[in-house]
């Protein structure tokens, strides 16, 4: 069973990649009588438009939501922050870095290697990819990474994290490929016109 994301990952003080730092949006809300928090992330992908997971809807102002995609855990919303970063296709065996939020608003980072790219039958567009890291390390992605950016070794945006699954030794992190994210935004915009 695939789990939604929550707090994990090694703490960092800042995002190293300048384009991503400008496009990254931390998401947080207070829950349970204002004592606990729920964390997630988003990233600007087009001028004035950011993406996160639909399961992060409680972390985004409802008035800013452009729409959700029914078949994917994606939600798009309006923002005034940042410019879209450069994107790239993901490659099997490629090193990746993911950013997410930890408790108390701390920035978290996770590193891994892409193990698999999944495409729907007959589709030229990748749907999602899986990257893995050692569960025992401090930099494994998990809660708080939902909707956060995944970057390749050159700092280009390759995906949006949406869930994880633990095995005996590794945490498998699932992320939507940017081709799929752009296709879903395009479909949403066409449906609105």
**What pLDDT score does 132 carry?**
86
Domains detected in the chain: 10-192 (2.40.10.120)
At 39, list the tokens.
Answer: 């964390």
The tens-digit pLDDT sequence of the chain (193 residues) is 444 544 455 556 688 888 888 999 988 775 544 445 578 899 999 999 999 999 999 889 999 999 998 789 999 999 997 789 999 999 999 999 999 887 667 888 888 999 999 987 767 677 889 998 765 555 555 667 899 999 999 999 999 999 888 888 788 899 999 999 999 999 998 887 7
| DSSP-derived secondary structure for 49-80 | EEEE-GGGGGGS-GGGEEEEETTTTEEEEE--
Residue identified by tokens 């950016």 is 149
Quote the pTM value: 0.87
| b/e burial code for range 101-140 (CB count within 10 A of at least 16 → b) | bbeeebbbbbbbebeebeeeeeeeebbbbbbbbebeeebb
């Amino acid at each position: 069973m695939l789990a939604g994301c929550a707090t994990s990952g090694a703490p960092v003080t800042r995002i190293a990649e300048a384009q991503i730092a400008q496009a990254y949006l931390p998401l947080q809300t207070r829950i349970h009588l204002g004592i606990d928090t729920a964390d997630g992330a988003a990233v600007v992908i087009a001028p004035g438009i950011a993406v996160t997971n639909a399961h992060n809807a409680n972390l985004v102002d409802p008035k800013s939501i452009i729409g959700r995609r029914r078949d994917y855990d994606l939600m798009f919303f309006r923002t005034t922050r940042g410019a879209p970063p450069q994107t790239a296709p993901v490659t099997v065996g490629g090193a990746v870095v993911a950013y997410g939020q930890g408790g108390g608003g701390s920035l978290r980072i996770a590193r891994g290697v892409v193990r698999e790219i999944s495409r729907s039958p007959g589709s030229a567009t990748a749907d999602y990819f899986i990257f893995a890291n050692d569960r025992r390390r401090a930099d494994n992605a998990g809660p708080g990474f939902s909707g956060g950016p995944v970057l390749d070794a050159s700092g280009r945006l390759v995906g949006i994290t949406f869930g994880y699954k633990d095995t005996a030794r590794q945490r498998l992190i699932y992320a939507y490929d940017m081709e799929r994210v752009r296709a879903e935004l395009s479909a949403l915009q066409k449906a609105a016109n």
